[in-house]
Amino acid sequence: MQTIDLSSVAVRDLNRRLQRRDGDDGESEFRVLHPGGAHALAAGLMHPIEVTIEGHAGYYCAGMNQEAKVTINGNAGTGVAENMMSGLVRVRGDVSQSAGATAHGGLLVVEGDASARCAISLKGADIVVQGSVGHMAAFMAQAGRLVVLGDVGADLGDSLYEAQIYVRGTVASLGADCVEKDMRSEHRSDVESLLKQAGVDANAGDFRRYGSARQLYNFKIDNAGSY
Full-model pTM: 0.94
In b/e form, how buried is each residue of 104-124, taking b as 16+ CB within 10 angstroms?
bbbbbbbbbbbbbbbbbbbbb
- What is the Cα–Cα distance from 118 to 136, expressed in whole angstroms? 7
When the pLDDT of each residue in the chain is averaged and rounded to a whole number, the result is 94
> What does CATH list as the number for 2-217?
2.160.20.60
Domain ranges within the chain, ordered by starting residue: 2-217
184 pLDDT higher than 90: yes
The residue among 161, 157, 148, 225 whose CA lies nearest residue 191 is: 148
Residue 57's φ and ψ, nearest 5 degrees, are -115, 155
139 pLDDT higher than 90: yes
165 pLDDT higher than 80: yes
Q: What is the mean pLDDT of residues 1-5?
A: 94
- What is the Cα–Cα distance from 77 to 129, expressed in whole angstroms? 15
5 to 26, 31, 108, 134: CA distances (angstroms): 20, 8, 25, 33
pLDDT tens string 97-127: 999 999 999 999 999 999 999 999 999 999 9
Q: What does the DSSP 8-state code read for residue 204?
A: G
pLDDT at 26: 63
- What is the Cα–Cα distance from 133 to 29, expressed in whole angstroms? 31
- What is the Cα–Cα distance from 118 to 138, expressed in whole angstroms? 6
